[in-house]
Structure 1
Amino acid sequence: MVIEKDKMVSIHYTLKDEDGNVLDSSEGSVPLEYLHGYGNLIPGLERQLEGKEAGKSLSVSVEPAEAYGEYSKDLVVTIPRANFDTGTKIEVGMQFETGSGAMSRIVRVTKIDGDNITVDANHELAGKKLFFDVNITDVRDATDEELSAASGDSCGCSSGGCGGCSGCGGGCGCF
């Protein structure tokens, strides 16, 4: 069976940067399982898996535009410390979620200068070419429940991917 839309795919992967440093890996753990064709992987990896079969191993590279996007200096801002909860000790490297719903975003603290805190909303892999070693372990038809969860039909999710199952108590199978 080949990988195409509406298939559940299981893969083992190792993600490396341009210097060959391992950034993430599923080896030694359970394979990553995802529903193909619904944006559950970065676009460049999902596209390169299309048409492949279980048992296939491949090495692929993904350009920033098909991964986490180009790095944008516009997403780095300096804000007053007063904008943070006074009980929170802020340190470089901390991450916070800002906004809500579709407008939520993770930001990282990159610099503290007195009463000013610089945060970066770029994904930590933005602007980087990524290298994946992938072993496709299984390809199967998705169940009706898996397809329903992906479309958001099972819990009224408006985002098409159930950003948190707040309307159904988490029992809808959303991932």
Structure 2
Amino acid sequence: MNISNNCYVEIHYALYNTDQEVVDSSRDAEPLPYIQGKGNIIPGLEQALEGRTAGDTFTVTIEPALGYGERDEEQVSIIDAESFAGFEGIHEGMLCQVEGEDGEPQLVTIMSIDEEEGEVTIDANHPFAGQTLNFEVEVMSVRDASDAELQNGLG
């Protein structure tokens, strides 16, 4: 069966940076499941998977526009260190979930901590925003998604 809209697909992948180091991978875990055409994965990877079948392996390079987007410097902000009072400890480079301006949870990276001023610089850009992504992909399975999966998603 070829991958097309509304197919349930499982893939294994490895994501490499420009130095050819693995920065993310599913190889030591379960395959990544998604439903084609529902925006569950980045657009460039979904496009590269269209028409593939179980057993296919390939590499693909995805530019930021079809990946996690370009970096947006307006997503970098300085907040009061008291906002992190409930955390065990924070450090530069740490990913953490905070409440966004809309009240929804938001994943941010701590860029710097100024203890003297009591401020923390955070970055709400995705960690891979602005980066060209190099994937190795293996299609593990392809089938029609069930009605429940189409209505409720995978989780």
Question: What TM-score comes out, normalization by structure 1 length?
Answer: 0.78
- The corresponding residue for 1:33 is 33
Secondary structure of residue in 2 paired with 1:13 = strand
Runs of 4+ displaced beyond 6 Å: none
> Are residue 96 (structure 1) and residue 97 (structure 2) matched?
yes
Distance in 1 (alpha carbons) for counterparts of 2:102 and 2:41:
20
Which deviations, in whole Å up to 9, do the C-alpha atoms of 1:61-110 show, x marking residues without a partner? 11111111111111111122244437754332332322387843211211
Q: Report if aligned partners of 2:64, 2:129 keep a CA contact under 8 Å in 1.
A: yes
Q: Report if aligned partners of 2:9, 2:36 keep a CA contact under 8 Å in 1.
A: yes
Q: Report if aligned partners of 1:15, 1:133 keep a CA contact under 8 Å in 2.
A: yes
Distance in 1 (alpha carbons) for counterparts of 2:84 and 2:13:
38
Distance in 1 (alpha carbons) for counterparts of 2:62 and 2:13:
14
Which one is further off, 1-10 or 76-85? 76-85
- The corresponding residue for 1:77 is 77
Distance in 2 (alpha carbons) for counterparts of 1:103 and 1:87:
18
Distance in 2 (alpha carbons) for counterparts of 1:101 and 1:116:
21
Which deviations, in whole Å up to 9, do the C-alpha atoms of 1:93-135 show, x marking residues without a partner? 3323223878432112111112121111111111100011111
Secondary structure of residue in 2 paired with 1:47 = helix
Query: Which ranges of structure 1 fall in alignment gaps of 5 or more residues?
Result: 151-173
Query: Identity of paired residues, percent?
Result: 41
Distance in 2 (alpha carbons) for counterparts of 1:51 and 1:99:
38
Which deviations, in whole Å up to 9, do the C-alpha atoms of 1:23-59 show, x marking residues without a partner? 1112243221211111111111001111111111110
Distance in 1 (alpha carbons) for counterparts of 2:82 and 2:53:
54
Which one is further off, 121-130 or 88-97? 88-97
Q: Report if aligned partners of 1:98, 1:107 keep a CA contact under 8 Å in 2.
A: no
Q: How does 1:131-170 map to 2 (within 5 A)?
A: 131-150=134-153
Answer 1 or 2: higher relative contact order, Cα 8 Å, separation at least 6: 2
Question: What TM-score comes out, normalization by structure 2 length?
Answer: 0.88
Distance in 1 (alpha carbons) for counterparts of 2:7 and 2:127:
29
Secondary structure of residue in 2 paired with 1:147 = helix
Distance in 1 (alpha carbons) for counterparts of 2:98 and 2:87:
17
More strand by share: 2
- The corresponding residue for 1:112 is 113
- The corresponding residue for 1:9 is 9
- The corresponding residue for 1:66 is 66
